[in-house]
């Protein structure tokens, strides 16, 4: 029996005050954690202890072990930077994306991002935690900033996937999660299907940073980095408002810098 089936069969107390779908999902998940042993969210096999992923799926994970330290781009060999970053150093000083956007990750991340499967987000955060801690990306940093969603998009989706990742990762990194430092000022068309130039145009002026970020060293957090256009635009807004340093963290990074 799949978790979804079990979830549906839980008798929800209909007399309680109405709660948002998200709060309900959190409540169900917490309940399920008590009654179900870990099970793989990718293939449904029994999970590793304390992790909703099985040993086989773990062994097949596309770790992004040799990546450009500046932009996180997967590289065939370790190097101080990729070609693009050597040519023009990005404003973001460091990027860490522990996984490549490949194999199982291309199925897990969209299920988390677009289909309200928040348990996948928690599993992914737990999955990359050891890499994030070992890397030291948060050393000397002041805050973790999840990439903001425009309120219209937030209302449609019901949650911000970056914030769902920021909560557990902020706790592991002992970094305060700050939602007040960066805002999405403008709703933008979905980036999917746009080339890099169109993405940049689409994002112009999309982010506004608070003056409170002045002098701060911050880590921007997103679920996946495709071309990096959103992170670049957001980092520029933070730097314009006086941030001392911006680093970036994501669960996964796309292999090829499409139309960069």
Nearest-approach distance from CB 110 to Zn ion, in angstroms = 17
Retrieve residue 90's tokens.
């990005």
Dihedral sign of CA atoms 104, 108, 109, 110 in order? positive
Nearest-approach distance from CB 68 to Zn ion, in angstroms = 3
DSSP code at position 18: P
Q: Which is nearer to Zn ion, 19 or 86 (CB)?
A: 86
Residue 71 in the binding site for Zn ion (CB under 5 A): yes
Instruction: Pick out residues in 77-106 that bind Zn ion (CB under 5 A).
Output: 82, 85
Q: Which is nearer to Zn ion, 25 or 248 (CB)?
A: 248
Side-chain-side CA neighbours of 101 within 13 Å: the count stands at: 20
DSSP code at position 63: B
Residue 199 in the binding site for Zn ion (CB under 5 A): no
**Do 236 and 220 contact (CB within 8 A), yes or no?**
no
SS3 content of the chain, % helix, strand, coil (to 5): 40, 15, 45
Residue 42 in the binding site for Zn ion (CB under 5 A): yes
Q: Which is nearer to Zn ion, 107 or 212 (CB)?
A: 107
Which residue in 68, 149, 237, 243 binds Zn ion (CB under 5 A)?
68
β-bridge pairing 143-146 and 217-225: parallel
Which residue in 28, 39, 67, 70 binds Zn ion (CB under 5 A)?
70
Which residues neighbour 235 within 8 Å (Cβ) at sequence distance 6 or greater? 91, 92, 220, 246, 248
Which backbone phi and psi does 221 adopt, to 5 degrees?
Answer: -120, 130
Q: Closest by alpha carbon to 129, among 101, 98, 104, 108?
A: 98
**Count of residues in contact with Zn ion, rule CB under 5 A:** 12
Q: Which is nearer to Zn ion, 40 or 162 (CB)?
A: 40
Residue 229 in the binding site for Zn ion (CB under 5 A): no
Which residue in 8, 12, 23, 43 binds Zn ion (CB under 5 A)?
43
Residue 55 in the binding site for Zn ion (CB under 5 A): no
Residue 254 in the binding site for Zn ion (CB under 5 A): no
Nearest-approach distance from CB 73 to Zn ion, in angstroms = 5
Which residues neighbour 255 within 8 Å (Cβ) at sequence distance 6 or greater? 74, 100, 101, 102
Which residue in 19, 45, 189, 244 binds Zn ion (CB under 5 A)?
45
Q: Which residues bind Zn ion (CB under 5 A)?
A: 40, 42-43, 45, 54, 57, 68, 70-71, 73, 82, 85
């Amino acid at each position: 029996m799949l978790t979804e089936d079990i979830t549906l069969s839980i008798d929800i107390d209909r007399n309680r005050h109405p709660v948002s779908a998200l709060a309900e999902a959190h409540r169900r998940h917490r309940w399920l954690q008590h009654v179900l042993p870990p099970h793989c969210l990718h293939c449904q096999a029994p999970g590793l202890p304390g992790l909703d992923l099985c040993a086989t799926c773990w062994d097949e994970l596309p770790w992004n072990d040799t990546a450009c330290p500046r932009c996180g781009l997967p590289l065939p060999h370790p190097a101080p930077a990729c070609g693009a970053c050597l040519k023009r150093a990005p404003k973001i000083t460091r990027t860490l994306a522990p996984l490549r956007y490949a194999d199982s990750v291309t199925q897990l991340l969209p299920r988390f991002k677009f289909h309200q499967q928040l348990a996948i987000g928690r599993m992914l955060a737990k999955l990359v935690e050891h890499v994030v801690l070992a890397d030291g990306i948060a050393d000397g940093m002041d805050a973790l900033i999840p990439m903001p969603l425009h309120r219209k998009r937030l209302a449609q989706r019901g949650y911000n996937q970056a914030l769902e990742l920021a909560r557990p990762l902020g706790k592991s990194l002992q970094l305060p999660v700050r939602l007040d430092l960066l805002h999405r000022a403008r709703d933008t068309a979905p980036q999917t299907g746009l080339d890099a130039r169109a993405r940049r145009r689409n994002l112009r002026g999309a982010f506004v940073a608070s003056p409170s970020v002045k002098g701060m060293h911050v880590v921007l957090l997103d679920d996946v980095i495709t071309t990096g256009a959103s992170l670049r635009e957001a980092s520029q807004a933070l730097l314009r408002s006086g941030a001392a340093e911006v680093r970036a963290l994501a669960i996964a990074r796309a292999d090829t810098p499409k139309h960069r």
